[in-house]
Structure 1
Amino acid sequence: MDAYWIPIRTALAVFPLLAAFLTFPYMIYQYRRYGAIPFLRTVILYSFLLYLLCMYFLVILPLPSIEAVAGQTGPTVQLLPFQFVRDFIRETKLDVMNPKTYLPALTQNCFLQVICNMVMFLPLGMYLRYYFRCGWGKTAVISFLVSLFFEFTQLSGLYGIYPRGYRLFDVDDLMLNTWGGMLGYAAAPLLAKLLPSREQLDQRAYLKGRAVTFCRRFAAFLLDWLLIGILLIMCMIAVPFLLPALIVVPGIIYALVIAGYFILIPWATDGYTPGKWICRIRITGKNERKPALYQYALRYGLLYFVLIPLPVIWVCGYIFEICTGYRERPRLLLHERISRTECVSTVGTITKDKQKHEKIWLLPA
């Protein structure tokens, strides 16, 4: 059992690190595509990621020492199809006429290895059909290619780390893995009876994406400030180089970058900053009218020159706003109320002319 438990335990240890690394890109994609991050969709996708990790570590672990692999002299490939049948007949004492030999034969390693090779790929076929909506042929091809990747990983000695392959490249594994994927494809309708369909998941996501949540706004905020950080660094380097006689004042550069990025860009693009555009958020005025330039200046002047620089005002003001306006729609914060602007979702608001260019469902108003 250690041969299986060690890879699974390693996958469980690596999964949180990989998930943390992929979470922000995943959030951005979901906000851009649907405007929301539904819980069930996230569980399905992250369970698929964990499953792939478990498969990969089951293939490569446990790792032998380089010295032990260098001393191996056995074959590295097995290209004879259905060799597992010959091994089963040779290594077991199965007697078709004697039922007492059935159970001992089915518990032999040569038989259990065949079953494990198929079972390992069974979830892959289920994921491909249920969530990724792959057909029979596509599922077979993907299952084969994934198995081929694993076999070449072993044949290459873990991409050249070892002097030779430390596990056998077996053509039977390619067949058994592919069959396992196809069994998963056949069993996927059972999973569909327990979970909503992919279409239902998409519809729920689009419906949820019509509201602009604080988490979505924060994702747009992080994207904007990633770009602003690059701009500030470039300005701090470029200005002394291009204008050496000019005294660089960080506060002035900060004010100019904020004014250009958060005031002029939204005013010129009808309410978008790059981060908000990616997350499908737009700034509007009262009754979704286009805000005037002074409204953008008031909105972001309050936010970045008053509320954020003064932590006490920021904390007290926003706690008050969240506590008193949490149930309001839309949830307007202090700088939004003063500037009479708000953030709205652009999910499902494209015109029919643009519908053919964007794969997004138009929802009823």
Structure 2
Amino acid sequence: MEAYWIPIRTALAVFPLLAAFLTFPYMIVQYRRYGAIPLLRTVILYSFLLYLLCMYFLVILPLPPVDEVARQTGPSVQLLPFQFVRDFLRETKLDIMNPGTYLTALTQNCFLQVICNIFMFLPFGIYLRYYFRCGLVKTIWISLLVSLFFEFTQLSGLYGIYPRGYRLFDVDDLMLNTWGGMLGYAAAPLLLRLLPSREQLDQNAYLKGRIVTCCRRFAAFLLDWLLIGILLILCMIAVPLLIPALVVVPGFVYAFVIAGYFILIPWATDGYTPGKWVCRIRITGRNERKPALYQYALRSGLLYFVLIPLPIIWFCGYIFDVCTGYREKPRLLLHERISRTECVSTVGAISKQKQKNEKIWLLPA
């Protein structure tokens, strides 16, 4: 069993790093599509990621020494179907007429390996049917192709790292893995009774997406400044080549970026910056009126020239709100109240009739 625990422990160690790397892109995709990141959907997708990691490491680990693999002379391919049945009958002490041999036969490696190959793909079939809404034929094909990828990974010697395949390419593994996916597809309806359907997850996400959260606004903020950073780097490379005598003043560049990107672009696009457009957020005036140019200038000027350089003002504004009992919902930030602007979601609302006809699962954000 230690051979199985090594890959699982490795997957658990790698998963946080991979999850951290994928979190921001995942947030952007969810905000663009739904306007929200519901907890249950996140748990499902990240558990699927961890499960795929475990599967992959079970296939490639533990890694043998390269020189040991180079000395191997045995076959690297097994193309005879149902060889696992012959191996089971040959290697076990099973006697059909003697029930006392049944338990011993079922605990031998030749049988446990077959069971592991089936059960390794059982969750895969459940995920495909429950979350990805795949039919039976599609589940069979995807399970077969993923299993084939794993077998070719072994046959290629881990993509050329080893001089030859260090594990056997076995056609029986393709069959058993595919059967596991089919078994998971058949078992998925049991899970559907415990969890909301994919349609209900989508409805819940759209409902939550009608609220512009601080996390969503921060994601748009990061996207905007990432794009600005790329543009500034390109300008720093190109401008000295085109205009060698030009002297760049950082303060002037900062003011130019704020004026052009956060004032003129939203004013010209009816309240969008590229980051806000991706996250489905729009700047509006009070009562959904289009803000005037001076409102965009006041909003961005206060934010980028006063509040961000002098964060103590945020704290003073919060204390003032507490003392005066400020309760406006959604809560407006200081620069929004002064400029009389606010951020609204552009995610379409679910019709009232649809909400009546279908059950909405209100899950934690």
How does the TM-score come out when normalised to structure 1? 0.93
In structure 2, give the amino acid aligned to 1:171: V
Q: Please give the per-residue CA displacement for 1:209-238, whole angstroms capped at 9, x wherever unaligned.
A: 000000000000000000111222333444
Match of residue 360 from structure 2: none
Q: Please give the per-residue CA displacement for 1:181-232, whole angstroms capped at 9, x wherever unaligned.
A: 0000000001111111111100000000000000000000000000111222
**3-state DSSP of counterpart to 1:173:** helix
Match of residue 357 from structure 1: none
In structure 2, give the amino acid aligned to 1:335: H
8 Å CA contact 2:206–2:349 kept in 1: the answer is no
Structure 1 residues 320 and 35, CA gap change in structure 2 (3 angstroms): farther
8 Å CA contact 1:120–1:177 kept in 2: the answer is yes
Separation (CA, whole Å) in 1 of partners of 2:320 and 2:68:
66
Separation (CA, whole Å) in 1 of partners of 2:42 and 2:239:
45
8 Å CA contact 1:126–1:185 kept in 2: the answer is yes
Match of residue 177 from structure 1: 177
Q: CA deviation at 1:330?
A: 1.5
Q: CA deviation at 1:311?
A: 2.9
Structure 1 residues 158 and 325, CA gap change in structure 2 (3 angstroms): farther
* Backbone CA RMSD of aligned residues: 1.8
Separation (CA, whole Å) in 1 of partners of 2:119 and 2:324:
54
**What is the identity percentage for the equivalent residue pairs of Structure 1 and Structure 2?**
88
Separation (CA, whole Å) in 2 of partners of 1:53 and 1:216:
28
Q: Please give the per-residue CA displacement for 1:293-339, whole angstroms capped at 9, x wherever unaligned.
A: 11000000100111112232244335655997885322100000000
Structure 1 residues 246 and 269, CA gap change in structure 2 (3 angstroms): same
Match of residue 363 from structure 2: none
In structure 1, give the amino acid aligned to 2:187: A
8 Å CA contact 2:210–2:349 kept in 1: the answer is no
Match of residue 362 from structure 1: none
1:89 aligns with 2:109: no
Separation (CA, whole Å) in 2 of partners of 1:240 and 1:325:
53
Q: CA deviation at 1:268?
A: 0.5
Structure 1 residues 325 and 188, CA gap change in structure 2 (3 angstroms): farther
1:198 aligns with 2:183: no
Q: CA deviation at 1:177?
A: 0.2
Match of residue 358 from structure 2: none
Q: Please give the per-residue CA displacement for 1:154-179, whole angstroms capped at 9, x wherever unaligned.
A: 00000000000000000000000000
How does the TM-score come out when normalised to structure 2? 0.93
Separation (CA, whole Å) in 2 of partners of 1:122 and 1:200:
24
8 Å CA contact 2:122–2:184 kept in 1: the answer is yes
Residue segments in structure 2 that go unaligned for 5+ positions in a row: 351-365
Match of residue 211 from structure 1: 211
Q: CA deviation at 1:138?
A: 0.3
Separation (CA, whole Å) in 1 of partners of 2:330 and 2:252:
34
8 Å CA contact 1:267–1:296 kept in 2: the answer is yes
Separation (CA, whole Å) in 2 of partners of 1:324 and 1:238:
52
Structure 1 residues 236 and 93, CA gap change in structure 2 (3 angstroms): closer
**3-state DSSP of counterpart to 2:283:** strand
Separation (CA, whole Å) in 2 of partners of 1:270 and 1:229:
24
1:35 aligns with 2:35: yes
In structure 2, give the amino acid aligned to 1:195: L
Match of residue 285 from structure 1: 285
Match of residue 259 from structure 2: 259
Match of residue 221 from structure 2: 221
Match of residue 99 from structure 1: 99
Q: Please give the per-residue CA displacement for 1:118-146, whole angstroms capped at 9, x wherever unaligned.
A: 00000000000000000000000000000
Q: CA deviation at 1:246?
A: 3.5
